[in-house]
Amino acid sequence: PSQPPNNPPDPPKPPQTRPPRVRSPHLSVSSAEPRRGKTVLRMRGSLGGGVLTSRVRACRRREGGDKMAAMAALGRPLRALGRAVGWRGVQGAPPPPQPPPQPTEDPPTLLESTADYVFVERLLPPTRVPDPPRHPTYPTPSGWTPPRTPPPALPYFIRRSRLHNLPVYPHLVKGNRRLTELRHVEGDIWALERELREFLGGLGVKELEVQVNEVTGSLRLKGHWERELRDWLLQKGF
């Protein structure tokens, strides 16, 4: 049988020895790390921590003392200045008024030109329906009649709606309550209310219930009087 070759054994490795740790009473710094704007020192040795702490505290006291000395040196002249002119005058006195600057040249003049505004007016939406064309006779086939020109000389005035109609509107409230509303009243609305009572009283109405609203310029009459009011207003010239 074959035998494995005889390999010589590996020589023994020499034992690894560490250099002996020498404890020194002096400061021994192993590393320095910046942390939050401060430098943190790591020490080696048993006595290094206490020595480093005392030195760091001494540096901090020295820096704090320098800052306090600088602040005290700055505060002394400020206090002297305050006593000289008065603290209240230094804190709250407004600056002395300065004279307004005098114009050296004539201010430029602005000229407003409306020549091109006609092109803008074509794009603006109309706020009122255009006036209807003139007819040879009135009322028109639709029953429309224009207001009298000039308007009647009365203490009140009734302006027409944007559709050039008399502002008389019938209402039916809660199914069986009939009302007639007259809007766009300008001027003495109470004089109009008295004349309406006289006019409808001549038609056989004994007691007319009228609600006057001066804020909105409107009148509300109990009952449907749309046709009578339209004819009466046309006779007045509205």
Which residue type sits at 195?
Answer: E
pTM of the model: 0.48
pLDDT digits (tens, 9 = 90+) for 103-136: 677 777 777 777 788 888 889 888 778 888 889 9
What pLDDT shows up at residue 122?
85
CA distances from 118 to 123, 129, 131, 142 (A): 9, 19, 20, 34
**DSSP per residue, 105-164:** SPPPP-----TTHHHHHTTSPPSSPPPPPP-SSSS-TT---PPPSSPP--SEEE---TTS
pLDDT digits (tens, 9 = 90+) for 89-104: 445 556 678 888 776 7
What pLDDT shows up at residue 43?
46
32: β partners: 41
